[in-house]
Amino acid sequence: MKKSLILSIAIVVLALIVTGPLVANGQKEAAAQKEVTLNWPCIWVGEDAKASAVADIVAQFNAKYEGKIKVVIEEMPSYDVYDKKILAQISGGTVPDIFTLKWTPDTRDLYDSDILVDFTKDLAAGWGDSFDKSVLNEVTLNSQTKTIPFEIAITPIWYNKTLFEKAGIQGFPKTYPEFWDAAAKLKAIGITPTSQMTGGANAWTSMLWYSHIMASIGGPDVWDKPLSDPIFVQGAEILKKLYSDGNTTKDAIGGGPAIPSGHYLAERTAIFCNGPWFIGNIRKNAPEVYKVTELTSAPAVPGGKSGAQVGFIQTLLASGATKDPAKREAAVTFLKYMTLPENVKRISIESGALLAPKFTFSANDKVDPLQVKFVEAQKNASFIVSHFAGKFSASVVQEFGPALDKLALGKATPQEFVQMLQDANN
């Protein structure tokens, strides 16, 4: 009898341990039903140039919709980790309420699935007027728009005008033979010509350089060509030279994003490549370099096209599909709020980023001079092509850095470099 009693108590305790949290959770959910909470794993946090403006806009939204909608930012300060976390969440069946992603060939998989909110009808009902039609068309597949274009970019060549003048170089070289001459002059005064990197998720800075080189070789349709086309080897030969003869820093091999930017900000290198989102960083951390930075197009390869720029949709906003109409409505409400002209303008002015939703600067707005140079570089471009990472699958892009390691260290020829990329495609 006594044993049976103890046994019964033990079973009840065990049952409470197992089911208790579930019951408690259910009660919590019931209590929170009035307010829709939207979780946003967000990359624009910490030291990111958009962090402050985005945090304020979210706070304003939460205040405006108090008791109805609450956006909760989950801080994710690493771009490389962010993409993997989002994919892990998606594959685990818990797509975030709000998240950002890049426009790549793999984005098609997301469109083919039913895991994203389809904004087509919302955009057709007037929200679409907030965007250039061409940009919206670019993110529309099979008549469906499941992402909202937010950040656009061009990534011109940045150079330090003062260092160029010290080296006796008049203006930025227009062709690669002139470029190598200029590089020699910079080295003669103890300056490493270019900032490069092979590390990170896609060797970002060098991947952009390769995209510039390929644009000059292949023209506006360069990415329509398969990797087996000899032009990719031709481009790799120039990329290899950028890593040879002291044309970049020794720590570029294996270096992450902080290496090329750090050298440029410290005036150890004179040439850099990145997008407008870096304006906030250089303005804050290296104001002297910021003042003497000029933007231009990359040199043309002999016989190639000149004046091209590398441009693309950098960030898309998206929302995980839900069966709860209130949650869907809340997500659309928030995204509409994020893309309001005044909010977009604020983020653009504070960070220097170029944003897709339409807005206009007034005479009183303190528009960053470097941001103006970005707009001019975009206008002056003879043509604009996307970058390499935007046109090839994630596995090819991921192999770019390791293949570049081998190319730079002389362990792979330009042909083998391209072969590694082709193999990754299989």
Partner 1 sequence: MNKKTSNARWILLFLLPIVLLYTAFFIYPFGFVFFSSLNKWNGISHMKFVGLQNYVNLAMSTTFQLSIRNNIIWALSLGFLQVGFASVIAFILARKPRFWKGLRTVYFIPKVISGVAIAMLWKAVYNAEFGALNAILTFLTGHTWNVNWLGEFNSALPAIIAQEVMYIGYFMIIILAGVMAIPRSYYEAAEIDGASVLQQELHITLPVVWGTIVTSMTLAMAYGLRHFEATFLMTGGGPGHSTSTLAIMMYNKIGARKLGQASALGTVLVIIGFIVIVTLNSTLGRKSLTGEDT
Q: What is the CA radius of gyration of the chain?
A: 25
Contact status: 28 vs partner 1 (CB under 8 A): no
Q: Quick one: 314 exposed, middle or buried, by C-beta within 10 A (0-12, 13-18, 19+)?
A: buried
Residues in 407-426 at the binding interface with partner 1, rule: CB under 8 A: 409, 411-412, 424
The C-alpha atoms of residue 125 and residue 119 are separated, in whole angstroms, by 10
Contact status: 260 vs partner 1 (CB under 8 A): no
* Residue 316 phi, psi (nearest 5): -115, 145
HSE-CB for 248 with a 13 A CA cutoff: 27
Nearer to partner 1, 3 or 379 (CB): 3
Point out which span in 7-15, 127-135, 348-356, 366-374 binds partner 1 (CB under 8 A).
7-15
Residues in 79-108 at the binding interface with partner 1, rule: CB under 8 A: 83-84, 87-88, 90-91, 106
Q: Which of residues 53, 201, 330, 354 is near partner 1 by CB under 8 A?
A: 201
Contact status: 2 vs partner 1 (CB under 8 A): no
β-bridge mates for residue 192, sequence order = 269
Q: Which position has the token pair 């994203």?
A: 116
Nearer to partner 1, 36 or 403 (CB): 403
Please, what is the minimum distance in Å from the beta carbon of residue 35 to partner 1? Answer: 30
Three-class DSSP category at 366: coil
Q: Which of residues 37, 60, 94, 113 is near partner 1 by CB under 8 A?
A: 113
Contact status: 319 vs partner 1 (CB under 8 A): no
Q: Which position has the token pair 């929302």?
A: 319
Q: Which of residues 77, 128, 307, 402 is near partner 1 by CB under 8 A?
A: 402
The C-alpha atoms of residue 260 and residue 258 are separated, in whole angstroms, by 6
Point out which span in 9-17, 45-53, 284-292, 327-335 binds partner 1 (CB under 8 A).
9-17
Contact status: 118 vs partner 1 (CB under 8 A): no
At a CB cut-off of 8 Å and minimum separation 6, what does 174 contact? Answer: 299, 300, 306
CA 347 from chain centre, in angstroms, equals 16
Contact status: 22 vs partner 1 (CB under 8 A): no
Give the dihedral sign, CA 228/260/289/168: negative
Identity of the residue numbered 333: T
Contact status: 219 vs partner 1 (CB under 8 A): no
Residues engaged in binding partner 1 (CB under 8 A) = 3, 7, 10-11, 14, 17-18, 83-84, 87-88, 90-91, 106, 109-110, 112-113, 115, 198-201, 249-256, 263, 268, 393-395, 398, 401-403, 405-406, 409, 411-412, 424
